[in-house]
Amino acid sequence: VVFQTLLVMDSIWKEKGLDFNLVPYGCISTGFNIMIRMIEIVRNAITFASVQRSQGGVAGAFKNNALYDWLERKCPFQEKVKVLNSCAGYCVATYVLGTGDRHNDNIMITDQGNLFHIDFGHILERVPFVLTPEFLYVMGRVKGRPTLPVHGPACINAYLSLRAQSRLLVTLFSLMLLTGIPELSMSQDMRYLLTALQQDQGEEEARNHFLQQIALCEQKGWTVQANWWFHMMAGIK
């Protein structure tokens, strides 16, 4: 469901001339009520947790510049733009979908600079916007340091483009109400989607709502880092 929705979102953006360098890898179900899936391999990709570990072990979870420094060694300038684009696209997509269980082992990045999310087992949850201090650092939200331009406008354009097609997205999810998805079994389950898209508000109110989500990320980014540090610690054998 999520993969198909990502493809729809990608088509909406590209119709607007926006390319967020998504990596909608393939996933095929092998049967009804069968948990085995066939998933396409994305080559030359590592988890964000691995990026953080490479910048100082588990303490790398608290380094705002962990991703930036990794990119400095791995990617030329033009590839860094891919990171900014894909980060903006996935941040908006996961927020609109209410994708839960977002941590540093569920976010990956390729050597070519494409950032992407995996493991979409929970959707339509009231979750915080996934825009961490590491992503903000790459986007240039650090005072006194020359870097790439802030990509806030890209996030806003991505969000408003999806909101303009909110009826299409709501219709698609309505059609899936009887498909047996646990998170989407009744009409009330779609309240999150309606709220995230601010369907009952004007464009300016929706823009302000979205900017508030970004502001919250800047204020509470350290809580995400702490959560990711605990996740990394729990993974130590």
Residue for token digits 């389950």? 189
The β-bridge relationship of strands 115-117 and 37-39 is unpaired
- Res. 188 pLDDT band, cuts 50 70 90: confident
Range of the domain at 226: 2-234
pLDDT, tens digit (0-9, with 9 covering 90-100), for 199-213: 889 999 999 999 888
- What is the pLDDT, as a whole number, of residue 183? 84
- What is the pLDDT, as a whole number, of residue 122? 85
Letter for the amino acid at 117? H
- What is the pLDDT, as a whole number, of residue 20? 93
The number of beta carbons lying within 10 Å of the beta carbon of residue 209 is 16
**Mean pLDDT value across residues 188-193:** 89
- What is the pLDDT, as a whole number, of residue 150? 46
Residue 225 CA from chain centroid, whole number: 16
CB 18 within 8 A of CB 157: yes
Q: What is the CATH number of the domain that holds 92?
A: 1.10.1070.11
Structural domain total, the chain? 1
The DSSP secondary-structure symbol of 28 reads E
Return all residues near 105 (Cβ < 8 A) that are at least 6 apart: 47, 48, 49, 231, 235
- What is the pLDDT, as a whole number, of residue 148? 42
d(Cα 14, Cα 9) in Å, to the nearest integer? 9
d(Cα 131, Cα 90) in Å, to the nearest integer? 10
| pTM for this entry | 0.87
Average pLDDT, the chain: 84
pLDDT, tens digit (0-9, with 9 covering 90-100), for 18-60: 999 999 888 877 666 665 668 888 999 999 999 999 988 999 9
